[in-house]
Structure 1
Amino acid sequence: MRFTKPPKTFDEQIDLLINRGMAVADRPRALHYLAHLNYYRLGAYWLPFEQDHNGHQFHPGTTFEQVLDLYVFDRELRLLVLDAIERVEVSIRTQWAYHLSHTYSPHAHLDKTLFKAKWHHSGNVDKLKREVNRSHEVFIQHLRNKYDESLPPLWAICEIMTLGELSKWFANLRRGKDRNAIARTYDLDEVNLTSFLHHLSTVRNICAHHARLWNREFTFTWKIPTHRPAALLENFHNHGERRIYNTLVMLAYLMDQTSRNHHFKMRLHELLEKYSVDETGMGFPENWRALEFWATTK
């Protein structure tokens, strides 16, 4: 079947929303946002307000402002999550490079025997070489010009790795003891850190591409810790395990481990108090505010 729908003007888009039952109190304001946010993009945020997804009729009382508030909430949530991911990523990069360089050599990433045989080590090294050649970072150019090795040492190469690449270079270490040595920095098992890194790279991409995060159901179920640390385990929610809540728990825990005087928990509390959102759609348990883990003065 060929697509035959003609494009609609911004005014026509507003009329369509009104005809479906959405109240638009300030038409010029709504026109402004549709002109800059895209009707199709905002559609992901008015979907929860629809009573009939086939006919796209809205629940009585639905307003354009409610949809816009949900959109802004999701944007602020993504920024909060991105800030936490940055700190966690930098910490794990540091631990990965430190452990391998001190246990083996500054260029341990070039030793294919340290990585799983099924992993295409040479191809991933070649990918790093291409990124080094493209890099305009002063420290990379200095190392390339001064030394003979085909790649910079671990503590430099990790700085130009993406989170997805770091996840793969960590997961494909051949020896579990190497992964565990790094994971123990955070009092985690390597299985859980490996799984969470993979999940975190997906979350990071969602945030970086400005996609919907707040009530997303992830396709990948990461392995939640079940043995240690004991103080963390009770905070996960087994219902809605593919929602963002468990990710926020793990990020908050890792922020506690890596960033003194962080304000992640407080900012999350403030964000959820600022906007009226369906927390159950995010995977939050009803009693989450009563958990000691989330009690914070920072």
Structure 2
Amino acid sequence: MTLPPILQAKVPFTKPALTIAQQIAKLEGEGMAIGDHAMATHCLQHISYYRLSAYWLYFEYPKGQAGPRFRPGTTFEDVIALYEFDRTLRLLVLDAVERIEVAIRGSWAYVLATQGGSHGYLNRHLYSDQRKFVGNCRKLDEETARSKDTFILHYKAKYSGPTRPPVWMASELMSFGLLSRWYALLDGRSNRQLVAAPFAIDEIVFVPAVQHISNVRNTCAHHGRLWNRRLKATLKLPKKNPPELARALNRTANDKLYNTLAFLKYLLDKCEPANGWGQRLIDHMATLAPGRDADMGFPANWTDWQLWGGTK
């Protein structure tokens, strides 16, 4: 029986650094066809061997299997096509997240401002965990101190207090990840539901969705791979409502990207109905080689669901 990596004895790292010419020779020696060495050199120079290795892993035999590393017919061009597909997918996801994020920031600020005034969000009694509340305040203070935004500099210069900015400034200042933690920490369903209300979704589903979207956003912002990625922070899937979202979800692959995309489509339709994003995603997915969408959790005939413009 093979032990999991965490239980295996550690060994010194001895892998050598390779020149690009050596990298090409290594790939060819392991069974990858490279028809255009100049193109491969350019890609390895400007993308890097290590980053591309996440994409050619798909074309490899399982580790430990005797014989060549790559499956028959694997080409460097296939790897680059998959890399470029993923790059465009990241841009599509960021396009949706940007508009959803802005709407979430606005809803959070509006609810807390109208419920408690400009600085009511700092009322510790609104939050379920006082230790985490103090940590959130500390993080907000750090982000405020670093900020060079004109509105923060103006606030500091003009007003004697409170030291922390009003909620509508705080919502624009803090990172989306921090805002998701402030939102999740709200004690009591009513305020959390008021923030979720513009999206016509239950806060029990929406709160973890906001945190999940923040994590995916960070992956995209750091140019991380989305294709075939296993997502650590999974979504809470609605059982029945909203019906168009609930029906379209893949309940057997919640650690893959498809459900994330379904949530983005639903939320984007609520904050910007005439967005065209879903069709752009459908068109982009059509450029992927047959069968590879299943590696991202896409169910068969997914475009038949009402969420994606179908009739089911």
Question: When the two structures are superposed, what TM-score results if normalisation uses the length of structure 1?
Answer: 0.95
Structure 1 CA distance, aligned partners of 2:14 and 2:57? 23
Structure 1 CA distance, aligned partners of 2:251 and 2:236? 11
Amino acid at match of 1:43: S
- Give me the CA root mean square deviation: 1.5
- Correspondence list, 1:82-121, <5 A: 82-121=94-133
1:284 to 298, 301, 304: 298
The equivalent residue for 1:67 is: 79
Q: Secondary structure at the match of 1:261?
A: coil
Structure 2 CA distance, aligned partners of 1:53 and 1:32? 28
Matched, 1:225 2:225: no
Structure 2 CA distance, aligned partners of 1:174 and 1:180? 11
Structure 1 CA distance, aligned partners of 2:177 and 2:146? 18
Q: Secondary structure at the match of 1:274?
A: coil
Q: Secondary structure at the match of 1:215?
A: coil
Shift of 1:118: 4.2
Contact 2:100 2:271 in 1 (8 A): yes
Matched, 1:2 2:12: yes
Contact 1:215 1:243 in 2 (8 A): yes
Structure 2 CA distance, aligned partners of 1:77 and 1:145? 43
1:155 to 168, 172, 178: 168
Structure 1 CA distance, aligned partners of 2:96 and 2:244? 20
Q: Percent identity?
A: 42
1:164 to 172, 177, 180: 177
Distance 1:116 1:60, change over 3 A: same
The equivalent residue for 1:128 is: 140
Amino acid at match of 2:76: F
Amino acid at match of 1:94: G
Shift of 1:163: 1.3
Q: Which runs of 5+ in 2 are unaligned?
A: 1-10
- Correspondence list, 1:1-298, <5 A: 1-54=11-64, 57-147=69-159, 148-276=161-289, 278-295=292-309
Shift of 1:180: 0.9
Structure 2 CA distance, aligned partners of 1:294 and 1:269? 8
Shift of 1:120: 2.6
Q: Which moved more, 1:64-73 or 1:211-220?
A: 211-220
Contact 1:196 1:222 in 2 (8 A): yes
Contact 2:30 2:70 in 1 (8 A): yes
Shift of 1:149: 1.2
Residues 41-72 of structure 1, C-alpha deviations (whole Å, 9 max, x = no match): 11110011112433661111111000000001
Shift of 1:137: 0.8
Give the length in aligned residue pairs. Answer: 296
Q: Which moved more, 1:272-281 or 1:202-211?
A: 272-281
Structure 2 CA distance, aligned partners of 1:279 and 1:57? 23
Q: Secondary structure at the match of 2:248?
A: coil
Structure 1 CA distance, aligned partners of 2:131 and 2:87? 36
Structure 2 CA distance, aligned partners of 1:11 and 1:108? 61
Contact 1:187 1:228 in 2 (8 A): no
Q: Which runs of 5+ in 1 are unaligned?
A: none
Q: Secondary structure at the match of 2:219?
A: helix
Structure 2 CA distance, aligned partners of 1:179 and 1:283? 30
Q: Secondary structure at the match of 2:137?
A: helix
Shift of 1:274: 2.5
The equivalent residue for 2:6 is: none
Residues 177-215 of structure 1, C-alpha deviations (whole Å, 9 max, x = no match): 100111122111111111111111211111111111111
Structure 2 CA distance, aligned partners of 1:256 and 1:204? 18
